[in-house]
Chains A and B, each alone.
Chain A
């Protein structure tokens, strides 16, 4: 990491000059909402290092507390080159750090993507409101901790239950009657778009348009093997691995899991073999929304807060993960999510502008569809 680099900050607060510390990070405190521009003073870069992206612009939104802190890493500027023999930018350390970040993002995406994939597999529906189910998790946790003063762990458990309950309610009053009514999949998809719109603005009415933080205290950084992570991130990754393993085990080994896979494979045949398809679909909705809620809580922790459109930001990554793995295959979604997470976080490491990291994930999706339309784990079938 590079220390002693000057960064000029200009924004509604006035101008400041910051210098990166020993770990290459810097801390910026701002007191006003608005657009801030960070400009790297390229003269202060060590010999042999160049920045592909010397200017960064970002919007700062304030939470309930009056200041917000940023710790943008030097990687945001796309630094490249070598110092004293060690590579900067595409160096081992940075590469490792970004890989771990990518893995973290991938695991969180996987929690939501597995649910999305199960819904698609059992009902054929591409649910656009799944992203808002993710946001819902973060928002409910925020309300429980900050409005009603519950301890975080209790709030997290309750949030997952509440989110699962919303899935049950939706199944009972929306998706089941609509399927009975014979509404086509395209119409159902548009119903989910309407739901997603209504939920997004409901969050804004209730919580406001800014970023809110579930836990106010700054997380404790943990360093091992040259990789810095917060303790919250470590917890999030651990929980995600455990939950995903449990879901995978349930799908492979339990009766209900087998029934779910059977319905995904061929609903009519499953029904004819005596599987209660309605029960399976109900369970899938509950599990999927509960997992999305869990993903939302952890996303709120890892990304330092949650906003009304946090879910929408990752919606396309979720779709990309599901499609990449193979539409409707739960394990494909898991692999797809990890791949997407890695692509997103590693894009800046390879010298591409950081703004393009989401675009890169989508580009890879499109390219894969060209050569392998069924996705990584999907069965080759005639699709047109």
Chain B
């Protein structure tokens, strides 16, 4: 049995053979147009689901409403920010960080513990960021001079060590041990910042408290932060420094021979991506609680899936990939539990089955479209 080539890929292989001729600019314009079309297509799909969810009733409307709710969850935004960070590591610099959840966990602990000890909000945010930056330095100093897979082993191991330490019963007074820190211990200063009026607001299938624990306030803040991070990465990778990152990804020795300090640039990329991961971790725990196990290996794998789905080394890919990752899983779950009778798969099994589909989708995606939805195949000839 052979695996058939997908038609889209053939098209890509064709244009990747073309040499770097003056129509690079034309190609870039074409790519930008394609990205816009894809993004618009996804938006139209969501609009159709929105329309069906609000104008009809029944199981289809319910499924679509839950898909839309999953897409705007603050946790989706939080993961999107972590994915944007990983995109700087892997997409632009080619660093194999398999411990992004560890950065999220550190950010979350730094933030939540500072707040629960009564420190002001800005200080807590800075402390969360600083712990992640220090963690990045500690990981980077020994490994960034070695081959790529050493960084991979060290990051995944270090993230696991963090998780085990966070669960330690001896540290219960700080981290809450395996029970975790409840959101009520650190959430109030953030909720108090809300300038939204009292009450509830309903827009289509979305109905939340204006402020509340998990309402519009955290959603608006989280998604605005996603936009800011996206804009930040957009400016960053267009700068001379961003070109240096891609250069390192493509050919480290060439950059070194130009007299650049490759180690320092890689380290800067590791720190910046890790800090974004920490920001994601802070948003992730605001509507819920700090649980070491919620930011373990599984989270890292989801982050990778979302990045590859959207397209590594693209600007909007991480955001699009994350939204699709969470929305499509809810869609699969809803459709499975609707279509398959409960005697074969019960509700819990439908949920588990949706993860099976996610795993298989990740495999197929990497096999048939390694550049993701928005990516450019030529940019991703990465081979560590």
Contacts and interface: CB of A to CB of B under 8 A. Distances in A.
A191 B359 CA distance: 9
Pick the most buried of B1, B2, B149, B384: most chain A CB atoms within 10 A of its CB.
B149
A222 interface: no
Contacts of A316: 156-157, 160
A197 B3 contact: no
B297 interface: yes
Interface in B100-133: none
B146 A187 contact: no
Contact of B168 (A201, A353, A358): A353
Interface stretch (A85-93, A159-167, A360-368): A360-368
A356 interface: yes
A316 B297 CA distance: 10
Contacts of A133: none
A205 B362 contact: no
B158 interface: yes
Interface stretch (A51-59, A111-119, A148-156, A272-280): A51-59
A172 B1 contact: yes
Contacts of A172: 1
A15 interface: no
B170 A53 contact: yes
Interface stretch (B57-65, B278-286, B363-371): B363-371
Interface in B14-30: none
Nearest to A180: B2
B345 A205 contact: yes
A107 to B, nearest CB: 22
B167 interface: yes
Contacts of A186: 96, 382-384
Contacts of B200: none
Interface stretch (B39-47, B202-210, B349-357): B349-357
B356 A205 contact: yes
Interface residues of A, number: 50
B174 interface: no
Given A55-B169, A193-B362, A355-B168, A383 B146 contact: yes
- Interface residues of A: mostly helix, strand, loop or mixed? helix
Contacts of B228: none
B358 interface: yes
A319 B149 CA distance: 12
A359 B292 CA distance: 14
B308 interface: yes
Contacts of B366: 183, 187, 190-191, 194
A230 B305 CA distance: 42
Contacts of B349: 204-205
B145 A384 contact: yes
Contacts of A53: 169-170
B359 A196 contact: yes
Nearest to B297: A312
Interface in B123-172: 142-143, 145-147, 149-150, 152-154, 156-158, 160-161, 164-165, 167-170
Contacts of B192: none
Contact of B169 (A181, A193, A353): A353
Interface string A283-324: 000000000000000000000000000001000100110010
Given A193-B301, A205-B353, A312-B297, A199 B370 contact: no
B258 interface: no
B361 interface: yes
A201 B383 contact: no
A284 B306 CA distance: 32
B147 A383 contact: yes
B177 interface: yes
B169 A384 contact: no
Contacts of B361: 194
Contact of A197 (B154, B301, B348, B382): B301
A319 B146 contact: no
A72 B115 CA distance: 37
Interface string B1-19: 1110000000000000000
A198 interface: yes
A184 to B, nearest CB: 4
B298 to A, nearest CB: 8
Interface in A174-219: 177-178, 181, 183-187, 190-191, 193-202, 204-205, 209
Contact of B142 (A57, A185, A196, A369): A369
Contact of B153 (A190, A363, A369): A369
B301 A383 contact: no
B168 A356 contact: yes
B363 A194 contact: yes
B304 interface: yes
A348 interface: no
A184 B382 contact: yes
A373 B356 contact: no
A194 B306 CA distance: 12
Contacts of B164: 355-356, 358-359
12 contacts: A172-B1, A184-B382, A193-B301, A195-B359, A200-B355, A201-B352, A202-B356, A205-B345, A358-B164, A359-B161, A370-B142, A373-B146
Interface of A: 53, 55-57, 126, 172-173, 177-178, 181, 183-187, 190-191, 193-202, 204-205, 209, 312, 316, 319-320, 323, 327, 353, 355-356, 358-359, 362-363, 365-366, 369-370, 373, 383-384
Listed from nearest, the 8 A-B pairs whose CB atoms lie closest are A198-B359, A194-B362, A197-B359, A194-B363, A201-B355, A359-B164, A362-B157, A204-B352
Given A184-B381, A191-B366, A191-B367, 12 more contacts: A57-B179, A126-B152, A178-B367, A186-B382, A186-B384, A197-B356, A198-B357, A205-B353, A312-B297, A363-B161, A369-B146, A373-B146
